[in-house]
Amino acid sequence: MSSLSGMTGFGRADGAGEGWTWSVEARSVNGRNLEIRFRGPNGFDALERAAKAAGQARFARGQVTVGVQAKRVEAGEAAVTINAAVLARYLTLANELAEDGATPPSADGLLALRGVIEAPEEVDDPEDRAVLEAAMAHTVEEALDALKASRQNEGAQLTPVLEDFIARIETLTMQAEGEATVQVEAIRERFTRRITELAPDAPGLEDRIFLEAAALATKADVREELDRLTAYVASARQLVASAPAGRKLDFLMQEFMREANTLCSKSATTALTGIGLELKAVIEQLREQVQNVE
């Protein structure tokens, strides 16, 4: 049995290696289907494919955005070297010029000359790039795991809310069942009063009243609707206890509302109509919350 998950959340992870540092942010919002968007540095096409595959393995619905920011680590002082041969040639020339009266060179002036200081070249070896992308892909998975935990936390908060609405629907359905038994007699009494007022001396009046009242009562019978509502309540509870359940709950909300609408249209008493309208309001509230479920 899996816990319910929401569709809104955020996750972040950082990494470093191969002369790079990077950070990954993964966030998601509600969505009818699963849509994964990727934003990352140029030249990391394999990373985008890895991010989308990792997202599809973890989520069933929602708009998921994965953003990667990466930069090379600047070379530190230890990585800088001095080309002694080039520096010696510059010193020789500088000394010759000094003998002719020129100003002796300063240390910072010599170091600023081209070729004296050498920084390590940035080698973009395919194997090194593959190792780098693999490390970054691992960080992407960490961010997506954090996003998944965030969505599950939302689901944990949603679960009691959904269960409360389902319980209210169950209570209203039971109230409607009690009122439905009274409705048949109310229809009979109303029809009898009208027929008696319109044709009090009509032959075979009692038989006519019985047949017509029975027909009207049959049309107004809401037992099937109430039975289906009861079955839907049980299905909703099972879905809330499993994941992912968002799409199935979406469909179930349509079925709930269809039965509530039919109940209202068949109602012959003010009390049953009131229950039906309240039932529709609670179902709509439940439907709004279901939009947050994965």
**9-75+126-153 fold:** Ribosomal Protein S5; domain 2 (3.30.230)
Mean of the per-residue pLDDT values for the chain? 85
Describe the chain by its helix, strand, coil percentages, rounded to 5: 65, 15, 20
When pLDDT is averaged across residues 62-68 and rounded to a whole number, the result is 96
Please give the Cα distance from 248 to 235 (Å, whole number). 10
At 8, the pLDDT band (50, 70, 90 cuts) reads very high
Per-residue pLDDT for 78 more than 50?
no
Per-residue pLDDT for 22 more than 90?
yes
At 80, the pLDDT band (50, 70, 90 cuts) reads low
Which of 84, 94, 66 is closest to 9 using CA atoms?
66
When pLDDT is averaged across residues 71-98 and rounded to a whole number, the result is 74
What pLDDT score does 88 carry?
83
Per-residue pLDDT for 156 more than 60?
yes
CATH 3.30.230.10 range(s) for the chain read 9-75+126-153
Q: 85 or 40: whose pLDDT is higher?
A: 40
When pLDDT is averaged across residues 163-189 and rounded to a whole number, the result is 86
| DSSP for 109-166, written as a single string | HHHTSTTTEEPPP----HHHHHHHHHHHHHHHHHHHHHHHHHHHHHHHHHHHHHHHHH
At 200, the pLDDT band (50, 70, 90 cuts) reads low
When pLDDT is averaged across residues 39-64 and rounded to a whole number, the result is 92
When pLDDT is averaged across residues 144-148 and rounded to a whole number, the result is 98
When pLDDT is averaged across residues 125-145 and rounded to a whole number, the result is 91
Q: 28 or 177: whose pLDDT is higher?
A: 28
The DSSP secondary-structure symbol of 101 reads T
Per-residue pLDDT for 129 more than 80?
yes
Contacts of 260 (CB under 8 A, 6+ apart): 229, 276, 279, 280, 283
At 222, the pLDDT band (50, 70, 90 cuts) reads confident
Per-residue pLDDT for 216 more than 70?
no
At 125, the pLDDT band (50, 70, 90 cuts) reads confident
Q: What is the dihedral of CA 196, 200, 205, 209, to 10 degrees?
A: -10
| Distance, first Cα to last Cα, the chain | 15
Could you give the 3-state DSSP secondary structure of residue 65? Answer: strand
What pLDDT score does 134 carry?
93
The rounded percent of the chain whose pLDDT value lies above 90 is 53
When pLDDT is averaged across residues 199-203 and rounded to a whole number, the result is 57
Please give the Cα distance from 234 to 231 (Å, whole number). 5
Residue 254's alpha-carbon distances to 62, 161, 168, in angstroms, are 20, 19, 17
Q: Under a CB-based contact definition with an 8 Å cutoff, are residues 188 and 217 in contact? A: yes
What pLDDT score does 18 carry?
83
What pLDDT score does 105 carry?
73
Per-residue pLDDT reduced to its tens digit, 100-118:
777 777 777 777 777 777 6
